[in-house]
Structure 1
Amino acid sequence: MNILGKFLCVVLLVSLAACGGGRRGPSAVTVGYGAGPQFGDSQPHAWVGGHPYDHPVHGIDISRYQGNIDWGRVRGSGVSFAFIKATEGADHADPNFRRYWYEAGQARIPRGAYHYFYFCRSGAQQAAWFIANVPRERGAMPPVIDLEWTASKTCPRRPPSDEVLREAKIFKDILHRHYGQRPIIYTTVDFYRDNNLGSWPEEFWLRSVAGHPRIVYPGQPYSFWQYTGTGIVPGVQGNVDLNVFAGGAKQWRLWLSRRLQ
């Protein structure tokens, strides 16, 4: 490929797989952000209402299913942050959390821990479990509470909205007191709608894999947008969730400076 061809592959927002991602299969695309991050998507989406690739600050969220991660390559690819699964319910801890937490820190990637909320345990029990597993560490991003309807066979409950909000508030208030940072709320479209989460004055991380959050969650401010679960990032095996920060590079630096105390 000549110099002009290589340049076009970098600056195009969505390049065909032949421009460097062909080995990932005919449906894969490589995403270019100028001189910034270079990621891919094994199942690219035709975006409506705005494109995640227009955002300059991208990150990943991971759990044990990502296996061994080469954090140096991850950082080199342009990843600006990582959310790492720590706990679920009141008795499950991700077996890779502590390793990922340490390795991401060594690679100087800003990282935060998230908890998958369970509706068969109280908010207080789950908060105690999270605190037992996640260090209170200077320089960490705020903790995250993942609120979505679970498909778990051991806990198929879908409690009423008032119970959901009550127990989740107990959880986040305990974490706020312990870590000194208000937790970020991760949620999905149906859970957000079913439980009127728009009434909460909290910082949000929104999942929306088929349209821009301004369309899917009209009027809802947010800091992070999870836009695909089929991302491809150098240093991570297989598919990985990709996310963007809602602001530009200057806003990202300001956001970090206020939280990495």
Structure 2
Amino acid sequence: MDVSVYQGQIDWNTLAEQRISFAFIKATEGSSSEDPNFQRNWEQARQSGLRVGAYHFFSFDSGGDTQAENFIRAVEPAEGMLPPVVDVELYGQRPVLYATGSSYDRYLAGDYEGYDIWIRNIYWTPRLKDGREWTFWQYTDRARLAGYEGEEPYIDMNVFNGTPEEFAAYPEK
């Protein structure tokens, strides 16, 4: 699953009991915004036993360098964390690239070899235009789970493209 401030107060232990293996948590947006719930969500999700990763909501209003600095200030690298979901080359870990199917086809297809893809397609299983395999798939934005109360009643759900053993070893160094 992936969450942001819109899910409000999250009971991570309750969520972790619902057959969820991992969560991507919104950390930052643009060059200066940090999700007000990020630090609490980050710590509590890790304490619940879930694998966690942080994501940055890219803004076209500022440069990538200042956005990377914003993300780096907010997210302390942790053992076992999933790769960041932004292009932050100074971070020391190759990021996952998130896109809708049409954005992937328009901007990413045929490029960025070696980068894992997190694709959003709430209608059908993604088939990437250039034949690449996706790593994560956001398959719905309308799930409801116990354990959170916020402005948004729904939560995004995602799946890893691999076995439980492959996920446990992800990302391979």
The two structures have a TM-score, normalised by structure 1, of 0.61
**Structure 1 match to 2:84:** 143
> 2: CA distance between counterparts of 1:108 and 1:82?
11
* Structure with greater proportional strand content: 2
Contact 1:192–1:198, Cα closer than 8 Å, also in 2: no
Residue type at the aligned position of 2:116 = E
Counterpart residue number, 1:174: 90
- Aligned-pair CA distance for 1:114: 0.2
Larger Rg: 1
For 1:102 and 1:69, how far apart are their aligned partners in 2? 12
CA deviation after TM superposition for structure 1 residue 252, in Å: 1.6
CA RMSD of aligned residues (A): 1.6
Q: Which residue of 2 aligns with 1:240?
A: 155
Q: CA deviation at 1:220?
A: 2.1
SS at match of 1:100: helix
Give the deviation of 1:230 after TM superposition.
0.4
Tell me which amino acid in the other structure corresponds to 2:102: D
CA distance in 1, matches of 2:66, 2:170: 30
What does residue range 1-261 of structure 1 map to in structure 2 within 5 Å? 60-145=1-86, 171-175=87-91, 177=92, 181-201=93-113, 202-214=115-127, 217=129, 219-237=131-149, 238-255=153-170, 258=172
CA–CA distance in 2 between the matches of 1:228 and 1:198? 26
Between the aligned partners of 2:109 and 2:59, the Cα distance in structure 1 is 17
Count of aligned positions: 169
Note closer, same or farther for the CA distance 1:204–1:91 as it changes in structure 2 (3 Å cut). Answer: same
Q: Secondary structure of 2:9's match?
A: coil
Structure 2 unaligned blocks of 5 or more: none
What CA distance in whole angstroms lies between the structure 2 residues aligned with 1:78 and 1:232?
13
Q: Distance in 1 between matches of 2:13 and 2:40?
A: 14
Cα displacement string for residues 128-170 of structure 1 (whole angstroms, at most 9, x for unaligned residues)? 111111112222211112xxxxxxxxxxxxxxxxxxxxxxxxx
- Any conservation in 1 of the 2:109–2:130 contact (CA below 8 Å)? no
